[in-house]
Amino acid sequence: MSRVHVIGAGVAGLSAATSLAARGARVVLYEAAKWGGGRCRSYDDLQLGCRIDNGNHLLLSGNLSTMAYLERIGAGDTMAGPDKPVFPFIDLVSGDYWALRLNRGVTPWWVLRKDWRVPGTRARDYLALRRLQKARPDDLVAGLLGDLGVLYDRLLEPLAIAALNTRPDVAAAAPLAAVVAESIARGGAASMPRYPAIGLSESFVDPALAFLRENGAELRFGARIAGLTVSDARVTGLVGPQVDEIIGPNDRIVLATPPWVAAELIEGLVVPDQFESILNLHFRAGIDGGVAGFYGLLGGVAEWVFEKTEVVSVTISAANDRLDRDTDALAAEVWSDLRRGFGLPRTMPPYRVVREKRATFAATPAQLARRPGPQTRLGNLVLAGDYTATTLPSTIEGAIRSGETAARLI
Ligand SMILES: Cc1cc2nc3c(=O)[nH]c(=O)nc-3n(C[C@H](O)[C@H](O)[C@H](O)COP(=O)(O)OP(=O)(O)OC[C@H]3O[C@@H](n4cnc5c(N)ncnc54)[C@H](O)[C@@H]3O)c2cc1C
């Protein structure tokens, strides 16, 4: 019987593997690490004495591929978030607090309510969001929306940085347009913030691995694929320190590694080659996360802060220029932001700084032009991963959708 070999157990590989296993395919999953999840995982932090996520991941109820994936693996009830489409913000400079609120339906009457939209904006300012529908490949976020004053400073810029993990003066507008089209443009019901109730692995990884085991898949951890044997434009073997696998004539392969690994394995494959980092700081402290469980912070170093069970977690996106910053100094700066926003004590609690150097590819027009489609010159291999040409930025939704596409092609 033929098999499907899935290389990489990040969410793209898990999406492809579970989708294929659900359709009765014999799946073999190869993962270089000893754990699954890739850039979306939880782990026990010895220094903090608790379990943390590598980084805060925010999703939206309109992430339909993600929601379908969670249902498939039996983890549909593991997500948390407010029961309303609400995004609270704190301005650390002025001390202002406000919350963006959307109505559930498609007609955006929320823009007419002064207490629901961003303070200092007018209803007609929001009409400019329609510019996104016509975004061309070379349009930049700042170029397209940067003239929108308060609306840009207080909402569009922070949302763009969060969604694209790239500074808006160099980020392409097209992937932001794709995010808006699948969320805000479809109304509040598609724009509810969602995050794992316990942890990333508890939602996205562990249930998927259990699903695969139940469906007869073979899971190989610590199984890095270092090379492909190729003959007549088909892969005939997988090779690695712990792997020497012959690929049968009817076998198929899903290559769901990060882009730099895919380019090493497939000669001539063009992939994004510039990346942006994300810093996450986890403090052993508590805050009241309010109505949403998180806040957007403006005017400080910290950008988003999440109330977690045992820690307060802070995200700083598009952080290449802060990557080499001294750890203690960075933590002190972020703690000072948290003190201003939440009245926390002066003494900094134990903390952990997680630096994800290549968190996402840089969402610039030049990098987007390097995204490959799923099919390759190798007839029995398809690509999956957040870097493939999904139209979405480098996100869980994009990664999961790429896995579905790969499974469908197979
Ligand atoms: C800190 C942080 C915050 C983020 N925040 C958000 C967010 O808020 N919302 C959102 O939607 N997205 C967010 N993202 C992005 C999201 O995590 C990624 O888009 C997604 O996890 C990518 O999944 P992937 O499967 O494509 O790649 P990866 O997660 O990189 O998976 C690739 C897998 O392949 C394995 N592998 C590599 N080489 C080999 C090899 N040779 N052989 C076998 N296996 C190999 C790796 O170990 C890894 O497990 C964030 C990312 C980070 C890092």
Give the pLDDT of residue 1: 77
What residues contact 210, with CB distance under 8 A and at least 6 apart? 73, 74
**CB of 259 closer than 8 Å to CB of 387:** yes
Strand 86-91 and strand 252-255: the pairing is: unpaired
Of all residues in the chain, the percent with pLDDT exceeding 90 is 100
**CB of 167 closer than 8 Å to CB of 3:** no
Ligand 1 nearest-atom number relative to CA 394: 19
Give the pLDDT of residue 200: 98
Q: Distance from the CA of 262 to the center of ligand 1, in angstroms?
A: 13
Average pLDDT (383-409) is 98
pTM reported for the whole predicted model: 0.97
CA-proximal residue: ligand 1, atom 12 (nearest): 395
**CB of 292 closer than 8 Å to CB of 193:** yes
Counting ligand 1 atoms within 8 A of each CB, the residue from 11, 15, 39 with the most, and so the one to mutate, is 39
Q: Distance from the CA of 126 to the center of ligand 1, in angstroms?
A: 33
Ligand 1 nearest-atom number relative to CA 39: 29
Q: Distance from the CA of 48 to the center of ligand 1, in angstroms?
A: 24
Counting ligand 1 atoms within 8 A of each CB, the residue from 395, 400, 401, 402 with the most, and so the one to mutate, is 395
8 pLDDT tier (thresholds 50, 70, 90): very high
Cβ neighbour number for residue 254 with a 10 Å cutoff: 30
- Over residues 166-220, the pLDDT tens digits come to 999 999 999 999 999 999 999 999 999 999 999 999 999 999 999 999 999 999 9
Average pLDDT (46-65) is 96
343 pLDDT tier (thresholds 50, 70, 90): very high
Q: Distance from the CA of 282 to the center of ligand 1, in angstroms?
A: 20
Q: Which residues line ligand 1 (CB under 6 A)?
A: 7-13, 30-33, 38-40, 54-55, 57-59, 224-225, 256-258, 261, 278, 280, 356, 359-360, 385-386, 394-397, 399
Beta bridge partners of 189: none
Quick one: which H or E segment has residue 321? none
**CB of 140 closer than 8 Å to CB of 173:** yes
